[in-house]
Amino acid sequence: MSDTSAPDTGDTAASADTDLPTELPTELHGCPVTSSRGQQVIHVTVGQYLDVLKALTDDGYTMVVDLTGVDYLQHLRRPLPAGLEPERFEVVVNLLDLRRRRRTRVRVQVPEADAVLPTLFDLHPGTEAMEREVFDMFGVRFDGHPDLTRILMPEDWVGHPLRKDDEVGRIPVQFKEAHT
């Protein structure tokens, strides 16, 4: 606090201190926050996921703009905040606060052995199709989702195409009367 012995330094320190909250916080709702090219990213575990999303909704992030997944099988050693165990799958939720015109992003580490997340359907009904897409493409299940079926692939499809170990596949092309 303001000390008479050192008014100058105390003043600058105080002003720097009050400036801090306008910068990106380092922690939000008990989860580490990083900045990715100036965009705020909140890193959560599966256990924290639903609570953090609820808290963020109360903070004003009322719209889930996008929910998608990433399979980090070939890139497990990506930079993450200290203390966070990198897992194979990540579910990325982009949130929008229309009133204050700001965005944030939640990255959830989803382990391969138990790739299950609670659904956001009850909180944001608009995630219904997006969660189905992530299930279809990555095989991450959403607990409590009302209609967890494939959405883009045929229903008898085997495998999850956007997984990194799902081969692209090629069809050999043979041209008629081609010069050999």
Partner 1 sequence: MSTDYYERSFAATDEGGQQLKPRSEVTAEELMREVGSVLRLSEAEAAELGDLPDDPDEDQTMIINMGPQHPSTHGVLRLMLELQGETVLRCKPIIGYLHTGMEKTGEQLTYAQGGTNVTRMDYLAPLANELAFSMATEKLLGIDEDIPDRAVWIRMLMAELNRMSSHLLFMATNGMDLGAVSMMIYGWREREEVLRFFQEVTGLRMNHNYIRPGGLAADLPAGWRDGVLRILDLLPERLDEYDTLMTGQPIWRERLQGVGVITPQEALALGATGPILRSTGVEWDLRRDQPYLHYDEMDFDVVVGSYGDAFDRYAIRLAEIRESMRIVRQILDHLPAGDYRIQDKKVTPPPRARIDESMEALIHHFKIFTEGFKVPEGEVYVAVESPRGELGCYIASDGSAHPYRMHMRDPSFVNIQCLPHMMRGGLVADAVAVISSVDPVLGGVDR
Q: Which two tokens stand for residue 48?
A: 């924290």
Identify which of residues 28 and 90 has a Cβ nearer to partner 1 in the complex: 90
* In the complex, least distance from residue 146 CB atom to partner 1, rounded to whole angstroms: 3
Q: Which residue intervals of the chain are DSSP H helices?
A: 7-19, 46-59, 127-138
Identify which of residues 109 and 124 has a Cβ nearer to partner 1 in the complex: 124
Identify which of residues 10 and 121 has a Cβ nearer to partner 1 in the complex: 121
* In the complex, least distance from residue 140 CB atom to partner 1, rounded to whole angstroms: 13
* In the complex, least distance from residue 52 CB atom to partner 1, rounded to whole angstroms: 18
* In the complex, least distance from residue 43 CB atom to partner 1, rounded to whole angstroms: 12
Binding site for partner 1 (CB under 8 A): 36-37, 39, 41, 62-66, 68, 70-71, 74-75, 78-79, 92, 94, 98, 101, 103, 105, 121-122, 124-130, 133, 135, 137, 146-158, 161-162, 168
b/e string for 32-57 if b means 16 or more Cβ within 10 A? bbbeeeeebbbbbebebbbebbeebb
Strands 116-118 and 63-71: unpaired
Identify which of residues 20 and 54 has a Cβ nearer to partner 1 in the complex: 54
b/e string for 114-145 if b means 16 or more Cβ within 10 A? ebebbbbbebbeebbebbbbbbbbbbbbbeeb
Give the position of tokens 């100036």: 38
